[in-house]
């Protein structure tokens, strides 16, 4: 059984104090939720406060990015051991905004993924096509390359730490959501690309304008195992609705 994950990706929003207030308001409202993993991925500056506020709750904390070396002269970067030291058990890798604005490639995604796995950090690896690629009927081809190169060289045991997020770039932050059928088609295709022995165990999240109004029909699809949510995860009220869809 794949336990669904409802993950917030806060992007570049929230100070440490705002993050702490969020968890204090969220925790009592979701304390009885056992059928989903609740995850908040936050800016690095908020992680320490966020983890402290989440102690004793069922809320997991994650980073939004990491660098593949453990330490060194890499100004501005944060490593897997550093994320773990502030209480993270997850990290997002290869979000489309990182690919678009910070030059991330499938090769850097792969290095980051291996660094996360080496340190026993759960990784949420993002894949997804642009509108131009979808309209040129290249969605499957694009996803196949991202999966093949970004997730290459893993041992069977490593896959236990891997979650994939399908996030069509045209649906992120735009208010446009892939239809449940469009998303399911891609999720099923991704699952077929995974090694046979683990394919049914790997969670595949959908991301792209998930909100309380559309979460239920998306999550009803057999290969959609949760959501990676930006905008609707910034407010406690809507995030609670997503968790309790």
Can residue 104 be called a binding residue for ligand PEP (CB under 6 A)?
Answer: no
The H-assigned helical ranges of 129-170 are 131-135, 139-150
Compute the distance between CA of residue 40 and CA of residue 79 in angstroms, rounded to an integer.
18
In b/e form, how buried is each residue of 159-194, taking b as 16+ CB within 10 angstroms? bebbbbbbbbbbbbeeeebbebebbbbbbebbbeeb
231 binds ligand PEP (CB under 6 A): yes
CB nearer ligand PEP, residue 120 or residue 143: 143
Over the window 152 to 191, marking each residue x when it contacts ligand PEP by CB under 6 A and - when it does not, the resulting string is ---------------x----xx------------------
Query: Which secondary-structure segment (H or E) carries 237?
Result: helix 236-243
- Whether 213 is catalytic is no
52 is catalytic: no
Q: What is the DSSP letter of 53?
A: H
Site track 197-216 with ligand PEP (rule: CB under 6 A), x = hit: ----------xxxx------
Is residue 39 a contact point for ligand PEP (CB under 6 A)? no
Cα–Cα distance between 40 and 62 in angstroms, integer? 6
**Residues of this chain that bind ligand PEP (CB under 6 A):** 9, 11, 167, 172-173, 207-210, 228-232
Active site residues per annotation = 95, 167
């Amino acid at each position: 059984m794949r336990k669904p994950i409802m993950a917030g990706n806060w992007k570049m929003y929230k100070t440490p104090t705002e993050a702490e207030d969020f968890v204090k308001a969220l925790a009592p409202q979701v304390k009885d939720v056992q059928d989903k993993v609740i995850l908040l991925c936050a800016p690095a500056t908020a992680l320490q406060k966020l983890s402290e506020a989440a102690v004793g709750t069922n809320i997991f904390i994650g980073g939004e990015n990491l660098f593949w070396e453990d330490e060194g002269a890499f100004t501005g970067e944060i490593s897997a051991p550093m994320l773990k030291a502030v209480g993270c058990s997850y990290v997002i890798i290869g979000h489309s905004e990182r690919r678009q604005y910070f030059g991330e490639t499938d090769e850097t995604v792969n290095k980051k993924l291996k660094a996360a796995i080496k340190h026993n950090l759960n990784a949420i690896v993002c894949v997804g096509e642009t509108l131009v690629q979808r309209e040129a009927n290249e969605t499957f081809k694009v996803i196949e390359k991202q999966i093949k190169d970004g997730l290459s060289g893993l041992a069977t045991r490593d896959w236990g730490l891997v979650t994939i997020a399908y996030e069509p770039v045209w649906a992120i932050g735009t208010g446009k959501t892939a239809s449940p059928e469009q998303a399911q088609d891609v999720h099923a295709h991704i699952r077929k690309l995974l090694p046979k022995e683990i394919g049914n165990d790997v969670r595949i999240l959908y991301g792209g304008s998930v909100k309380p109004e559309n979460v239920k029909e998306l999550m009803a699809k057999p290969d959609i195992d949760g959501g990676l949510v930006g905008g609707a995860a910034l407010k406690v009220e809507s995030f609670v609705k997503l968790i309790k869809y």
